[in-house]
Structure 1
């Protein structure tokens, strides 16, 4: 009897990422890690679902995010409509055209530059994970990292797991450079409390108590006319991982991944 899928490992990296958390009007922020709404939206797009289609089944997914590289916050001063004749300027809420003096709309848009994340997706239904994996490998619509201007720079799916997934996430090579210290602090964010013997019994990986916060990014509907989100918990944990896990960038990181047992021993994709 074949082993069932216990988790799905994703790698999210690219020149720019933008995971909006509290964006309003002309201020378009980004969270410092992928949001739940952003991840579910990416998977829904890969499955070919339109914004007004239900996403109830995807609410069963649980995500644990490892911040390999936090990246650098980048601000883009954005303008729309400047220098255009009045009949081509942005339409107001009343359906009128803006005057030449008010035609230019400005906004601040924030991005994460050169960030990298490893994401573990789990669910009680292995078939759901397998369906998501197939869609992300062959997406209906091209995936992007939060905003359409942020394409990934590598395939999203690392592997499908059949063993206990959390230890694999902790042990997987880090897409970052190391240093002279024996360990390096790495942040994890999860939908549920992150617990495992891997750090409770080893002083090298011991962490402080998990920090509980809340964020309003649980998507109920992506419909443009009825977009709705719920508040959900976020658990933040810092682990001190061995600096030897740092595999650098580019070819060095890819080679370290290909040599890792979780990748080499993973089942062939369907």
Structure 2
């Protein structure tokens, strides 16, 4: 069966991709997590939180992230008053710290069977439920998939290319040239960080505990996956002749 890749533009003033969020401490990863992206797609498709079979189908897609603009980690200090106590005693005040990414921009690529990829592209264009990046207040700043005339800049949608080729050649999503990216100390090449699903046998594999099994409110479960962190060279062809709008 044929396969394809879905390219998405993940762009918002604020994003949060928690991996170890518990109680009064809510963290964020430096790029979109597998659980966060699967949750985004599930919302677009109208998949119920306890539909483990459908969640497993989405989580089985191979995912790659290219960081087109590194975000800045920010912290909010929250105070919640009159929080009920489980023992019925007087309400209490709860203090919490919540971290998020500010001003980040990502290309997220998902690879799998063509029919599923096409279904997901249509769902993202016309989502069943609202889309947000980690928290309900963190909504997209631009379409995840571009409209005619802007698709190459705002997320190409479905492309018949392998995942790594998409990360290596897709036009840069940035619209400014004072961006935050890395420079190779060896040859001065401009680099964009990538995080890509790989088999556990890969010699550079790292564990990430963000592969979702269930999003049910009383049964949220995750397992580990393996990724490789690397870089792609930001070429003149990827920058293009004109800045993206």
**Bucket of the pairwise TM-score, normalised by the shorter protein:** 0.7 to 0.9
Partner residue of 2:149?
A: none
> For 1:13 and 1:170, how far apart are their aligned partners in 2?
19
1:169 aligns with 2:157: no
Partner residue of 2:244?
A: 253
Structure 1: 5+ residue stretches without partners: 82-88, 194-208, 255-270
Partner residue of 2:114?
A: 126
> For 1:162 and 1:33, how far apart are their aligned partners in 2?
24
Partner residue of 2:150?
A: none
TM-score by structure 2 length? 0.83
Count of matched residue pairs:
222
Partner residue of 2:151?
A: none
> For 2:57 and 2:171, how far apart are their aligned partners in 1?
31
Larger Rg: 1
Q: How far does the alpha carbon of each residue in 1:39-94 deviate from its partner, in whole angstroms, 9 at most, with x for none?
A: 0011011111221222122122111000011111111111111xxxxxxx211222
Q: Are the aligned partners of 1:5 and 1:160 in contact in 2 as well (CA < 8 Å)?
A: no
How do residues 1-270 of structure 1 correspond to structure 2 at under 5 angstroms? 6-54=4-52, 55-81=55-81, 89-98=82-91, 103-123=92-112, 125-157=113-145, 158=155, 159-176=157-174, 177-178=176-177, 183-192=189-198, 211-242=204-235, 245-246=238-239, 252-254=243-245
Structure that is richer in strand per residue: 2
Matched residue SS, 1:166: helix
Change (3 A) 1:148 1:52: same
Structure 2: 5+ residue stretches without partners: 146-154
Give the drift of 1:247.
Answer: 6.5
Give the drift of 1:114.
Answer: 0.4
> For 1:95 and 1:49, how far apart are their aligned partners in 2?
36
> For 2:93 and 2:127, how far apart are their aligned partners in 1?
36
CA RMSD of aligned residues (A): 2.4
Matched residue SS, 1:186: strand
Q: Are the aligned partners of 1:6 and 1:163 in contact in 2 as well (CA < 8 Å)?
A: yes
